[in-house]
Structure 1
Amino acid sequence: MNLANHSHQHFQSVARPVIALGVDYPDGEVIPPHHHEHDQLLYGLTGVVMATTPQGAWMMPPQRGMWIPAGIVHEVRTLGDVKMRSLYLDPAISQGMPTTCQVVGISNFMRNLLEEASALPPEYDEDGRGGALMNLIRFELERLPPIPLSLPLPTHKRLAKQCHSFLREPGANITIDHWCDELAMSRRTFTRLFRRETGLSFVAWRQQACIMAALPRLAQGEAVTTIALDLGYDNPAAFSAMFKRMLGSTPSLYRP
């Protein structure tokens, strides 16, 4: 199902500030670049969702959410079968939310709210239970904690090529000096350029790239040891320590 058409069909004629939908997608679904007039919150019960924009990539593991502001052109890919809940909000009522894409934590309370909301008809009674439920969701949106599962991509042509090459074969043991040699840059020039283009240090970007490479494999049930060694970590403990430091939980919690 094409998400862009699906949203257009439901929202152009529905005068409600918040609409919730439940949609299932198969593994490998690709929704071509599109944008919405509404702000969007995605929540995946199962599977992994990756959204990409010209500025970077965001990966939503199972039981997490993703905020996509109105007007941002994005492509969506599913990794594994995805059971999705989507909120669409009039931007006038979601002021104060991030102006860029953001992966967020979803509390048990918010999960229950999203389940209830997705069961409502699009034209729910704004003065009844439906309206009260949607109003509560609006308050809870501001409490969603950000999760560092984004990977900004540079616009600098040579650096962008190097980053995309790394994403095809990520490795925790790749060093700044290696990239400096590849790009024929001094370490000082490289570090300044990398931070200016991505907003991150090279080490932080490399760690986030490795996490984003690991998440789909974890969601498919692969062993932590196998993933850690494939990514170039000396042992699973080193990988798990980095993972927990970045995301606040161990890799095993992301396995089915």
Structure 2
Amino acid sequence: MPSSPLPPFIPASVAGDELNRLHNQRVLWLEEIESAVVALRTEYPDGYLVPRHRHNRSQLLYALTGVVLVTTDAGRWMVPPEHAIWLPARVHHAVEMLGTVSMRSIYIAPHARDALPMHLHVVALTDLMRCLIVEAVTSDDDPPPGSREALVISLLLDELRNLPEQPLGLPFPADPRLSALCRRFVEKPSPHATIDEWAAALAMSRRSFTRSFQRETGLSFSLWRQQACLFAALPRLADGEPVTSVALDLGYDSVPAFTTMFKRMLGVSPRFYRSGMLAQRQAPSL
């Protein structure tokens, strides 16, 4: 497929009007290209902000490395490792890079496949889908029917239906002061942070803070705190760190307490998740 106007590697020096111009060109290019499915690779530096935009294609956004913060009119979502976010067509969104991000995006036209999801949500990637995404972005040409590249795209569209939706995206508030508190918490999470501490930091009453936090994030403070702790744990467990050290570093009084939270949020124990991630990384890739 033809090259996108936006280069695969974005230097930190590109910003402001030039960044907006490049991304506007990409949006126009996505609208004009005939391919039903477009797979793109882009490398972003830490702190990079893709400006607010929308396109007439749905997008499966996957950070192969790094973490992304996606902002839409419905809220702000941090996507955990080994997951992706599904952005339906015509949804306004901006994307902020937290750390150096190696992004893989699959843009899918509405006519590419029946019954594409219509709501924004976070999905867990299967091993097969992860490999298909990596393969798809290596194809430079519009694949002819029956070719290996065309079969990869067809299987990718089929596998899209098998991706389990997970209530994991971490919503971020739009209020700058509250957002700053949330960012600091994500950098150093603790299960012992309290509503009273955060309310005092914002010079708010407990009741006002509770209402404001729920309104801004759609979650209670307790649930948001648990999800933030989970996000901090996932990459460390995937790297093979012992469950005990992860639990204690995050401030849990015991491994069983951490395990209870983890199973409630993700449906499996941290030891099961850790062993699964290690097995996945050791398996030969396509």
What code does the residue aligned with 2:65 have?
T
For each residue in 1:219-249, what CA deviation from the matched residue of structure 2 results, as whole angstroms up to 9, or x when unmatched? 8999877765565433455335423432335
Partner of 1:184: 205
Structure of higher RCO (CA pairs closer than 8 Å, 6+ residues apart): 1
Give structure 2 stretches of 5+ with no counterpart: 1-9, 11-18, 282-286
Partner of 2:227: 208
- Answer yes or no: is the 8 Å Cα contact 2:60–2:86 preserved in 1: yes
Partner of 2:106: 87
For each residue in 1:15-42, what CA deviation from the matched residue of structure 2 results, as whole angstroms up to 9, or x when unmatched? 1211112233344433233323211112
Mean CA deviation greater in 72-81 or 133-142:
72-81
Post-superposition offset of 1:69: 2.0
Partner of 1:109: 128
Partner of 2:70: 51
Secondary structure of 2:56 counterpart: coil
Q: Structure 2 vs 1, CA of residues 83 and 177 (structure 1 numbering), >3 Å: closer, same or farther?
A: closer
What code does the residue aligned with 2:181 have?
S
TM-score (norm 2): 0.67
Count of residue pairs brought into register by the alignment: 250
- Answer yes or no: is the 8 Å Cα contact 1:47–1:219 preserved in 2: no
Task: Report whether the alignment pairs 1:60 with 2:76.
Answer: no
In structure 1, how many angstroms separate the alpha carbons of the residues matched to 2:209 and 2:66? 36
Partner of 1:119: 138
Partner of 1:168: 184
The 5-angstrom pairing of residues 195-234 of structure 1 reads: 198-213=217-232, 228=247, 231-234=250-253
Task: Report whether the alignment pairs 1:70 with 2:86.
Answer: no
In structure 1, how many angstroms separate the alpha carbons of the residues matched to 2:99 and 2:65? 8
In structure 2, how many angstroms separate the alpha carbons of the residues matched to 1:174 and 1:135? 47
Determine which of 37, 56, 60 is the counterpart of 2:56.
Answer: 37
Post-superposition offset of 1:66: 1.8
- Answer yes or no: is the 8 Å Cα contact 2:27–2:54 preserved in 1: no
Q: Structure 2 vs 1, CA of residues 6 and 148 (structure 1 numbering), >3 Å: closer, same or farther?
A: farther
TM-score (norm 1): 0.73
Partner of 1:99: 119
Mean CA deviation greater in 243-252 or 71-80:
243-252
In structure 2, how many angstroms separate the alpha carbons of the residues matched to 1:140 and 1:107? 8
Task: Report whether the alignment pairs 1:135 with 2:154.
Answer: yes
Task: Report whether the alignment pairs 1:147 with 2:163.
Answer: no
- Answer yes or no: is the 8 Å Cα contact 2:67–2:97 preserved in 1: yes
In structure 2, how many angstroms separate the alpha carbons of the residues matched to 1:122 and 1:193? 50
- Answer yes or no: is the 8 Å Cα contact 1:30–1:75 preserved in 2: yes
Post-superposition offset of 1:114: 1.7
Q: Structure 2 vs 1, CA of residues 9 and 224 (structure 1 numbering), >3 Å: closer, same or farther?
A: farther
Q: Structure 2 vs 1, CA of residues 42 and 118 (structure 1 numbering), >3 Å: closer, same or farther?
A: same
Secondary structure of 1:20 counterpart: strand
Secondary structure of 1:11 counterpart: helix
Give structure 1 stretches of 5+ with no counterpart: none
In structure 2, how many angstroms separate the alpha carbons of the residues matched to 1:25 and 1:221? 26
- Answer yes or no: is the 8 Å Cα contact 1:48–1:219 preserved in 2: no
Question: What is the Cα-based RMSD across aligned positions, in Å?
Answer: 3.8
In structure 2, how many angstroms separate the alpha carbons of the residues matched to 1:164 and 1:103? 23
